[in-house]
Amino acid sequence: MAPRSEFDFSALDYQALSPAERSAVVNKVVREARVARASEIATVTQAAWQGISRVMQSLGIAVSAAAMAAWRRHRDRRARRLAAAQLYAMDDRALRDIGLRRGEIEFAVGGALDPTRRPRAGNRARSCVEALRPKQGPQPTQRLAA
């Protein structure tokens, strides 16, 4: 905010001034108004840029976090595919030695737990049936007659 003028315009008898004095007063008022306006514009502009920089910084952090999460998912998916390819390259006897069957390879490397894959209808139906079953609360304890 610009400093206030020491000149008291309300006490000024504008009618009694000569044209040169009036012009000087008008020029002084215009000059002070321009200084005050420039100061306010600078203050508002600075505040706006600070707000914009905070928003951009937050946006940059969010974009960076999303990119890192996407990269981690991609890296993990590639590692699972590589592990599955190595297991598929093994013969059935070698798989049996490590306790796996060929049909369990995807589950073993985590592909069955991949959140990007849709579950089969049977699994979804089974979980819906289990959710609809009445929950059995804790069984009351029976007192034994001693």
**DSSP secondary structure letters along 9-38:** STT--GGGS-HHHHHHHHHHHHHHHHHHHH
Assess whether pLDDT exceeds 50 at residue 122. Answer: no
Per-residue pLDDT tens over the stretch 66-75: 999 999 999 9
Residue with tokens 């007063």: 25
Per-residue pLDDT tens over the stretch 124-136: 444 544 555 555 5
pTM above threshold 0.85 = no
Gap between the Cα atoms of 45 and 71, Å rounded: 38
Compute the average pLDDT of residues 20-37: 89
The contacts of residue 34 (CB under 8 Å, 6+ apart) are none
Under 8 Å between Cβ of 111 and 84: yes
C-alpha closest to that of 41 among 85, 1, 10, 83: 1
